[in-house]
Amino acid sequence: MMIRDALLAAGVVLSFASQISVPGLPLGYGEFFLAIWIMLSLGRILAGGRFEVTPAFLQLASFWLLLSLALAIGTVVGYFTTVLYLTGLSHDAMAYGLLASFTCLAVLEPDTEHHLRRSAWWMIAIAVGTLAIQIGLAFGGVHQPGVDPWYWDRFRGWSENPNQLALYCAVFGPLALHLAATTRNRWAQVLALSSLIPIIFVGRLTKSDTYLYTTILSGLVFLGLRLRAWFAFGGNGPSLPREIALLLILGAVPLAITAAPYAVSEESSVAKFAKSLTKDGGGDATAETFELRMFLWSDAIEKGLQSGSLGLGPGPHLERPPVADRQFLERPFEAHNTVLDLYLQGGLVAVLALIWIVGSAALSTWRSRSDALSVLVVSVVIFSMPHLIIRHPIVWFALTFCLVAGMRQELQPRLQHARIA
């Protein structure tokens, strides 16, 4: 069982390694390990192994069924109304099939929560090891033929582009924080918290603006949730730290009003500092990215409405934007927004299904009172706004992990009711 958990972790983590592939096979290491894990899981069930139909399985199976139906209808509409990009269609269809298989099989395992948690520990360990190798590639300490770790001045490691690597770092961070907060082993806590150092370092090396915004907003959300938990469950008796924190919160508004004139006078310095954190210091690259996103999003909405909100099937469907760099190939574009891309592919039904499954994961983390997992969902949502992330296994592992986290809280009232009866 531990070997299968490690295989799942390796498959999810190495899915970002687009530049390296299994020798002799047209597959990356991530897809290779996930395929092996799926075959082992199916073999165990077919051989008579025990499985449990959990609430998380019903939710995930319902989502993938709805999405498959929406994509099938969209493909029919796209076939009669536009020219389909068959390479993109087949790529997305295979990706969705792989994701549906591993998420549904993962939550059919007996003691699902334990196995996913063990896989999460393996993921953080593998992530730290692979990030260390990629840092060595970045600074010349390690040499690997066929791998270019830099995309201009942005670090991409083994990934095809820096944003892929940044997405994985954005998920690894909250996941490591959750593991550190929920283990009683001091050494495990130290290791999980220490893993945040290379994760955040690599995330910043990618110079991804989205990673920067995600980290800042997720940190503020986590701080707010911890303060809520502290005041709610910190005991009824008065204590000096709680009184100081309460005074600081109450005094925040008048303090902000008092400091407003000084903040206005230093507005240019603050703006320069904020711009310096972006990938191009708020220069031409940042402006060009914003212009490109606006063009693609408006075009995606227009084409989605033209399809009657039924979608056009899997794959990209947008024409090459006039503001795109010459380095981009002459092929259909994606909207670079998860909701809009799914709207183009499967229409309104696909979007509503996605909102439902993500909302279910968020509600599950709220019921489980896990602040770090709530931050994990927030990170996924923020990163999905300027990027298409629905095809990445790390996203679905995170959502599956969050769905399973609330199962214990769902089952407890039922067990208590059964005992009373």
Whole-number pLDDT of residue 391: 94
User: What does the alpha-carbon distance between residue 175 and residue 30 come to, in Å, rounded to a whole number?
Assistant: 19
Whole-number pLDDT of residue 75: 95
Would you put residue 325 in left (φ > 0), alpha (ψ -120 to 50) or beta? beta
Least confident of 133-137, 246-250, 300-304: 246-250
Q: What is the DSSP letter of 318?
A: B
Note the pTM of the prediction, 2 decimals.
0.87
Backbone angles phi, psi at 91, to 5 degrees: -60, -50
Backbone angles phi, psi at 392, to 5 degrees: -90, 125
Average pLDDT of the chain is: 84
Length of the chain: 421
Secondary structure, 3-state, 363-410? HHHHHCCCHHHHHHHHHHHHHHCCCCCCCCHHHHHHHHHHHHHCHHHH
Whole-number pLDDT of residue 420: 38
Go through 82-91 and write b for each residue having 16 or more CB atoms within 10 A of its CB, e for each that does not.
eebbeebbee
CA atoms within 13 A on the CB side of 186: 0
Whole-number pLDDT of residue 238: 52
In this structure, is the dihedral angle defined by the CA atoms of residues 272, 274, 277 and 280, taken in order, positive or negative?
Answer: negative
User: What does the alpha-carbon distance between residue 242 and residue 201 come to, in Å, rounded to a whole number?
Assistant: 33
Whole-number pLDDT of residue 82: 87
Q: Region 280-304: what's the mean pLDDT? A: 77
The pLDDT of residue 245 is above 60: no
The pLDDT of residue 267 is above 70: no
* Residue whose C-alpha is closest to residue 203's, from 211, 191, 193: 211
Q: Region 310-325: what's the mean pLDDT? A: 81
Cβ atoms of 19 and 147 closer than 8 Å: yes
Cβ atoms of 405 and 364 closer than 8 Å: yes
Whole-number pLDDT of residue 282: 53
The pLDDT of residue 362 is above 60: yes
User: Which residues neighbour 336 within 8 Å (Cβ) at sequence distance 6 or greater?
Assistant: 292, 293, 296, 297, 386, 387, 388
pLDDT tens, residue by residue, 97-140: 999 999 999 999 888 999 999 999 999 999 999 999 999 999 98
Q: Region 218-247: what's the mean pLDDT? A: 66
The pLDDT of residue 394 is above 80: yes
pLDDT bin (cut points 50, 70, 90) of residue 388 is very high
pLDDT bin (cut points 50, 70, 90) of residue 284 is low
Whole-number pLDDT of residue 421: 37
* Helices assigned H by DSSP within 47-111: 55-81, 86-106
Whole-number pLDDT of residue 137: 93
Residue that is written with structure tokens 């939550």 in the block = 107
Q: Which residue has the higher pLDDT, 270 or 231?
A: 231
The pLDDT of residue 275 is above 80: no
User: What does the alpha-carbon distance between residue 65 and residue 61 come to, in Å, rounded to a whole number?
Assistant: 6
What percent of the chain shows pLDDT beyond 70?
Answer: 80
The pLDDT of residue 379 is above 80: yes
The pLDDT of residue 262 is above 80: no
Whole-number pLDDT of residue 204: 93
pLDDT bin (cut points 50, 70, 90) of residue 253 is low
pLDDT tens, residue by residue, 340-356: 999 999 999 999 999 99
* Residue whose C-alpha is closest to residue 182's, from 363, 365, 413: 365
The pLDDT of residue 36 is above 90: yes
User: What does the alpha-carbon distance between residue 126 and residue 343 come to, in Å, rounded to a whole number?
Assistant: 34
Q: Region 51-68: what's the mean pLDDT? A: 94
Whole-number pLDDT of residue 419: 38
Q: Which residue has the higher pLDDT, 233 or 130?
A: 130
Least confident of 18-32, 70-84, 97-111, 249-263: 249-263
Tokens of 27: 């597959």
The pLDDT of residue 62 is above 60: yes
Least confident of 122-126, 206-210, 289-293, 332-336: 289-293
Whole-number pLDDT of residue 407: 73
Whole-number pLDDT of residue 330: 54
* Residue whose C-alpha is closest to residue 109's, from 65, 49, 62: 49
Cα distances from 418 to residues 221, 231, 421, in angstroms, run 37, 33, 5
